[in-house]
Amino acid sequence: MNTKLLISPQELTSPPAKKSSQAVIIDTRTPEDYAISHIPQSLNVIDFFTYLLENSYPAGLKELQE
């Protein structure tokens, strides 16, 4: 797969990037791939939203939005 990167993993883990409290690194891969290897302090979107979203019915989505 040829993917053009906006920023490399090395750049994300460099000292200046680590000092930035503005950045949140989101990993969109499967939980299995995330468990094998991920950037420290990154969030796995699938697990993150599963944790916050009790169900995907309208009431659950409204609760997540709030």
Q: Residue 45: what pLDDT?
A: 82
Q: Residue 46: what pLDDT?
A: 75
- Torsion of Cα atoms, 21 then 38 then 61 then 66, to 10°: -10
Q: Rg of the chain over CA atoms, in angstroms?
A: 15
Residue 63 in tokens: 């609760």
Per-residue pLDDT of the chain (66 residues; tens, 9 = 90+): 556 777 777 887 776 665 666 777 888 788 899 999 998 888 888 765 666 666 667 777 777 677
